[in-house]
Structure 1
C-alpha cells in the first residue's frame, strides 16, 4: 500500500486536550506501510489547537488549514475534503477527539482496494462497541439510525453519521465535480449524513468495518447539541428523499453547460 497516497483529514475545533495524543496514535498506526500526510482543518479554535499542529509538524507529516472564525463541521469538511481529494488516492476522515482508533485505517484501506468507494467505521456491525457513551446518546443514535435505514436503504451502510471513513479520492473528486460546493450544504453534524446521501446519488459502492468507539478516552467536552442536531438530520433526510430529482436537474445543467456560463 506504499504506492497509495493517503491523506488523513480531521476537522478540529478547540481540541487542544485530545489532539496531541491522537496525532501520535495516527503516526504510530501509519508509519512503515503508508505514504501519508495528516491535514488538520482548524475551524476557528480559541485554544492552542493550531499551535499544537504547527509544533507536531517537526515530527510528522502534518499540515494546518485555518478558518478565521468558527464556521461549523460542514464548512470544515468542505475545506478539508476539497484539499485532500486533489493530492491523494485515499482520504481518511476521523474525529479529532481521540475517540476513534487509527489502527483501523489499514483494514479500511484494504477494504477500499476490494472495489468499494467508501468504507465506514460502523457502530452497527458485529463486533462494534460503544464505550463510555452516555446511554441516552446511544439510544438516540440507534433510534435515528434505524429510522434512516428504513427510509434510505443505501446498500452496505448501517451507520450514516459516524465521521470515521475511508474514501476513494477519485470518487470524492467526481462528487465535487457534480455538486460543486453543494456536495456538503449542512454546516452541523448532519453533514456526515448528507455526504453519504450525495455519494448514494453517484451510486458509490459502500462497505463497513466494526468500530470500537472510545468516549472514555475523550478529554474535551462534546460539541453536539442534541435537539438542533436531530432537527437538522430530519431536514437532511427530507432533502435526501427528494435528492434523485435534484441530482437529475444538476446533471442536466452540467450537460448543457449552464454551470460554466453562470
Structure 2
C-alpha cells in the first residue's frame, strides 16, 4: 500500500518546510509514504527548498498554470508512480499534516473512495464572518447539487483512492474542489468527511483575494459542472420557464380578443409567441445536450480505460528495468 502526499506549490519557499515536517513519514496500514510537490512556475526557491528537504518527487510546470491544472497534473503523476492513495494538501501549511492518518482511514477501511477534511470553518478565528457565511452557503449549494453530504465543500485537504483518482477528469481552470465533488456525486463514488485541524494563517489566500471575483468564479464552476452532468434537467427547466412566460401574454391577448378588444393588445401575442418559440428551441437544445452528455460519458469511460492501459504498460516497463 503506497500513499503519496501531493503538494501544489507556488512561491512556497517559506511555508514548505513546515508543511513537509507536519506530514507523518510512517502510517499504520501503509507500507510507503512518499511526498511530491508540483511546482507551478514558482519564482522563488521553492524547488531548491524541496530538494534540501528530501522531497521524494518534484514535478515542475514551466509556467504558472493555476491550481486546478496543477492538481490534475499531480494526480496523473501520483498514479504513474503507483499510488494506492493520494492525499492533496496545500503548500501554505494551512492544513494539519498530522491528521493524514485520520483522513485516509475510511479508504483503508474500504468504506470510502474520497475523504474530505472538514476544517470546521466556524471555529477558525482568522476567517471573517462573511467568509464563514460564504463557506457555509457554498457548501450547502454543492451538497444540494452533487448529492454529496460534506460540510466543507471547498476544503483542499482530501484523500482519494486509486479508483477514484482514475475516474476524475478536472476541466476547470480555477479551483478543482467543487468540480471534483460534483463529479464524485454524479459518478456515485462513496464520499465522506472527517474533522481535521488547521494551522495558524501563514499568508493571504491566493484564491480568495477578491470576494466578488471569488464568488463569480465559484458560481461559474458550479453552473458549468452541474450543467455538464445534468443538461436535460437544466435546459428543460429553462424551456418550461420560457414557455410559461410566453403562455401568459398569449392568454391575456385571447381574453381581450374574445371580449372584443383584441386589436389593442397585439403586442401581447407577439411577446407570447416569441417566448413560446424560445421555449421550444430551448427544449430541443435540452434533448441535444442530453445526447452530448451520453457521448461525454462514453469519452470518460474510454479515457479511464486508456489511463489504466497506460499505467499497466508503465508498470511492465519498470519491471523489465
TM-score of the alignment, normalized to the shorter chain, above 0.5: yes
Q: Report what 1:110 is aligned to.
A: 105
How far apart are residue 147 of structure 1 and its match? 2.7
Q: Are the counterparts in 1 of residues 27 and 33 from structure 2 also a CA contact under 8 Å?
A: no
Partner secondary structure for residue 77 of structure 2: helix
Q: Deviations over 1:129-179 (max 9, x none)?
A: 32422333222212222233233322x323221100011012211x15xxx
Correspondent of 1:37 among 14, 34, 37: 34
Q: Report what 1:252 is aligned to.
A: 298
Q: Deviations over 1:16-44 (max 9, x none)?
A: 12111110111xx2336441110100101
Q: Please identify which structure carries the higher helix content.
A: 2
Asked if 1:153 corresponds to 2:199, the answer is no
- With normalisation by structure 2, the TM-score equals 0.68
Question: Which one has more relative contact order, counting CA pairs under 8 Å at least 6 apart?
Answer: 1
How far apart are residue 109 of structure 1 and its match? 1.6
Q: Deviations over 1:170-210 (max 9, x none)?
A: 2211x15xxxxxx1111223x21111212222211001101
Q: Are the counterparts in 1 of residues 145 and 182 from structure 2 also a CA contact under 8 Å?
A: no
Q: Report what 1:67 is aligned to.
A: 61
Q: Report what 1:235 is aligned to.
A: 220
Q: Deviations over 1:55-85 (max 9, x none)?
A: 111xxx5211111111100111011011112
How far apart are residue 11 of structure 1 and its match? 0.5
Aligned-residue RMSD, C-alpha: 2.4
How many aligned residue pairs are there?
Answer: 238
Instruction: Could you list the structure 1 runs, at least 4 aligned residues long, displaced by more than 3 angstroms after superposition.
Output: 244-247, 252-257
- What are the ranges of 5 or more consecutive residues in structure 2 without an aligned counterpart? 231-289, 307-321
Q: Report what 1:202 is aligned to.
A: 187
- What are the ranges of 5 or more consecutive residues in structure 1 without an aligned counterpart? 177-182
How far apart are residue 98 of structure 1 and its match? 0.8
Q: Report what 1:96 is aligned to.
A: 91
Question: What is the alpha-carbon distance in structure 2 between the residues aligned to residue 222 and residue 171 of structure 1?
Answer: 28
Question: What is the alpha-carbon distance in structure 2 between the residues aligned to residue 122 and residue 157 of structure 1?
Answer: 8
Partner secondary structure for residue 30 of structure 1: coil
Q: Are the counterparts in 2 of residues 10 and 96 from structure 1 also a CA contact under 8 Å?
A: yes
Question: What is the alpha-carbon distance in structure 1 between the residues aligned to residue 302 and residue 144 of structure 2?
Answer: 36
Question: What is the alpha-carbon distance in structure 2 between the residues aligned to residue 197 and residue 149 of structure 1?
Answer: 9
Q: Report what 1:221 is aligned to.
A: 204
Question: What is the alpha-carbon distance in structure 2 between the residues aligned to residue 255 and residue 122 of structure 1?
Answer: 31
Q: Report what 1:179 is aligned to.
A: none
Question: What is the alpha-carbon distance in structure 1 between the residues aligned to residue 53 and residue 87 of structure 2?
Answer: 19
Correspondent of 1:9 among 6, 9, 19: 6
- With normalisation by structure 1, the TM-score equals 0.82
Partner secondary structure for residue 78 of structure 2: helix
Question: What is the alpha-carbon distance in structure 1 between the residues aligned to residue 22 and residue 101 of structure 2?
Answer: 13
